[in-house]
Structure 1
């Protein structure tokens, strides 16, 4: 079977329930045609580069699926006749795709993203801790100088025991 990726833009005035319903409808078309969904991503509302059907914003959705060719044609036909869809684009990703392999790749990518995010959060926390330490050090009195003066006084004894410079 072939692996496809279809991205479509919905009208921004569609409410959340209508958006979810539209996504489920297209996923249902794929499932009914002996296809399998790999991933559905909702990219959210974004500003368009230019007006499309009078709209400046649109809600982006990406479907990643494996199916026979006629199923993709049916998905595109339904996207074309829907009033809620501003634009769509389907791309053939792989001519002979394995669903299990595609899901493994997706899980590996998600793991890498999660690890990178955790590392970034750890770096941010370390940076914040070092900034807090720096602020605390600036606010504290000059402790090393005071300690040094006390040590010199202790070694020299009373004022009279000091040698003149």
Structure 2
């Protein structure tokens, strides 16, 4: 764990609550070493990733179906690694929260936190790309990229040079 302090008081999405603070809590819980703290860290790691993923995807569903909708959004967008990590975190969270018949190790917690960091990094990349797209469409000095051709458009003939 690094000693760098990151100000996460403001959400990159302009939300009242910054879901990245949940990752900070998960990291903090993981340093205490007990199984209860590790289970809580895994649970918080998932929710820190899920909340941010849901918000970036602009999914307003607050029911239990929001988890699958969020995962499906990233699968459909071709973000398969992100979707795999997010679903793996959900599985780890379910195990940590509901399965008291098995012990969870520090390694389980470490893997969940690593997956959460990967999800956060991918989401920041996606959010930056979306912000750029929005800027390019709304700024007066930037012009939008041309729309891709429709699937029935005929490609131009090659130029015989």
Give the TM bin, normalised by the shorter chain: under 0.3
**TM-score for both structures, normalised by structure 2:** 0.27
Q: Which has the higher contact order (CA 8 A, sep 6+)?
A: 1
The structure with the greater share of residues assigned to helix is 2
Structure with larger Rg: 1
The structure with the greater share of residues assigned to strand is 1
